[in-house]
Amino acid sequence: MISQILSPVHTSSRDDAVLQALVGFVTDEGLVPGDRLPTERVLAERLKVSRTTVREALTRWQELGLVERRQGSGTYLKAAVTRNMLHMPLTLASGNDFNSLMHTLEIRRGLEAEAAALSAARVSDADIAMIEQKLIRMEEAFHERHGMSADEDWDFHLAVFRTSGNPLFEQIIAAMYEMFHRFWEHPLGVRDFGHASFPYHRTLFNAIAARDPIAARAEALKLIATVEDDLKRGAANLKKQTQKNRVHI
Amino acid sequence: MISQILSPVHTSSRDDAVLQALVGFVTDEGLVPGDRLPTERVLAERLKVSRTTVREALTRWQELGLVERRQGSGTYLKAAVTRNMLHMPLTLASGNDFNSLMHTLEIRRGLEAEAAALSAARVSDADIAMIEQKLIRMEEAFHERHGMSADEDWDFHLAVFRTSGNPLFEQIIAAMYEMFHRFWEHPLGVRDFGHASFPYHRTLFNAIAARDPIAARAEALKLIATVEDDLKRGAANLKKQTQKNRVHI
DNA sequence: TTTCTAAATTGGTTGGACCATTGTGCCAAT
DNA sequence: ATTGGCACAATGGTCCAACCAATTTAGAAA
């Protein structure tokens, strides 16, 4: 079961070395998410370090969501593990207040504009057809439901990111998007949130289809600006309500 | 020194409870980034848990970048800690090839431009003085060593990000920066990497000090452009060397 | 006052023990 | 033969008591 791959660690920062050895083990053994890792006690023995050190290393992986521990059962791989992984822990103060949501939008403004410009510079004809298909589905959903549909909207944006040729955009913006939407059924009480952004989806597509990076960046910025306006409107509403209810405090 | 705020934990998942108690301690005590936390041994005694459990909890905070441990010295707060923090650790697969480094620069281009613009719109007079101090130290290091000094350079950029009013910039760009520097002693064999970016640090500062967001964005873009040029130059060098050495393969 | 050195402090690691939860397989009852 | 329950083994979680290694501090020496 345990091959000879696990060799004693030697260098500094024991638990770093343990993680490095674990990466080697996981990749060489071809483990995939869901598979079980060796026991803590086994790892400790194989790596010639104490169980405490192994536990510290696994705790770090657990915090990064790479691994899940179940008492009495074992430790299970939760995500793909490769060498040269880059860890980027994002911490936001209290995800649902106005400032935090605004912060995610500021990140999106910088990244979506850049992604749109890169996409316009790099799309293939097939990419353009694919993006237009997503756009049409979004527009259909909009007219059926008389409002923005989060899923179709996200599919469209995702298509743009993926044609940017840089996978980092998708992963980072996806995290921002999730933070933003985790708390938005009706974020800050604003109904038909994102309604104003609708027309800019087509203008953005047109700029990309025309392979015009400058125009694409401009349209992406306009789109984000409408979302920011919605958010500010929501914050104003919230403030008004708070003032109205102040007597209860 | 240690007030009565730390009370014994009781409920399930000990280290979760420890972290919760620590949040209370940090907020009640008004600790800010840079401040030192109580000793592990003290925390263990106050919280009525073993030092092992305290260490496991601190390890998790460390992995999230909230805390930094220095052997022989202590554990220091590295970021603002509040109740209701939202953590979203991202792990990205990355390589040390030309494309991966270029990808990090594309992210930095979008974010550094945005951060510079926001900083120019929001800096206080004290912030400006602080940034200028970092700039001067960087320039001194440059002239002493006849080349860019990574640490002082990073300090300057960090100061800009922190005055943007959005902590996410620092968190994301720090990850990009780490990935970029993980492989760059002399990245791709290019000596005096970043040399060309030197003058744009002062022009960027001037734009921020003038509170001119548009100019700040432009200068930040110029700065990144020089780094991209260096990287492309390095890739060309590498290709040439590979061709020259092809006979050995 | 400055500089060097020894001791105290603090995080890092170890080994061993025990607890709590889960999984497994045997055995008995049906 | 099937099912249900139970005892036991395996595994992660916690604790303790040391000792190691890096750092800081305080005091001695110059």
Nearest CB to A166 within list B55, B66, B103 = B103
B contact residues 36-65, partner A, Cβ 8 Å cutoff: 52, 55-56, 59-60, 62-65
Contacts of B169 (CB under 8 A, 6+ apart): A106, A107, B111, B114, B115, B118, B161
For strand D, is any atom closer than 7 Å to the CB of B34?
A: no
Q: Structural domain tally of chain B?
A: 2
Answer yes or no: do B36 and B65 share one domain: yes
A249 CB-contact burial (10 Å; exposed 0-12 / middle 13-18 / buried 19+): exposed
What residue has its CA nearest to the C1' of C23? A73
Give me the pLDDT at residue B7, please: 44
- Which domain range does residue B216 map to? 98-248
Tell me the shortest Cα–Cα distance from A174 to chain B, in angstroms.
Answer: 10
Report DSSP letters for A61-91, one per residue.
Answer: HHHTTSEEEETTTEEEE-S---TTEEEEEEE
Q: Tell me the CA end-to-end span of chain B in Å, nearest whole number.
A: 65
CATH code assigned at B226: 1.20.120.530
Return the pLDDT at A185: 57
Instruction: Please indicate if any CB of chain B lies within 8 Å of the CB of A79.
Output: yes
Q: pLDDT digits over B29-80, tens only?
A: 999 999 999 999 999 999 999 999 999 999 999 999 999 999 999 999 999 9
Overall average pLDDT of the B217-239 stretch: 85
Same domain, yes or no: B24 and B106: no
Per-residue model confidence as pLDDT tens digits over B85-119: 989 999 998 777 788 888 999 999 999 999 999 99
Q: Residue B72: inside a domain, yes or no?
A: yes
Pair (B119, B236) in one structural domain? yes
Q: Do B88 and A179 touch (CB under 8 A)?
A: yes
Nucleotide nearest to B53 (CA to C1'): D14
Where residue A240 falls among pLDDT bands split at 50, 70, 90? low
Domain annotation covers residue B66: yes
Across all residues in chain A, what is the average pLDDT?
86
Cα–Cα distance list, A84 to A13, A20, B100, B238 (Å):
17, 10, 11, 21
Q: What is the pLDDT of residue A29?
A: 92
Does any domain span residue B230? yes
In chain D, which nucleotides are within 7 Å of a protein Cβ? Answer: 9-18, 21-24
Give percent of chain B above pLDDT 70.
86
More confident residue, A134 or B150: A134
**A231 part of a folded domain:** yes
A107 and A63 within one domain = no
In Å, what is the separation between the CA of B23 and the C1' of D13? 22
The verdict on B141 and B27 lying in the same domain is no
Per the domain annotation, does B238 fall within a domain?
Answer: yes
Question: How does residue A243 score in pLDDT terms, banded at 50, 70 and 90?
Answer: low
- Whether residues A127 and A225 share a domain: the answer is yes
Q: Show the tokens assigned to A87.
A: 């860890």
Query: Any idea what the CATH number is for the domain that residue B33 is in?
Result: 1.10.10.10
Whole-number pLDDT of residue A4:
35
On whether both B125 and B171 belong to a single domain, the answer is: yes
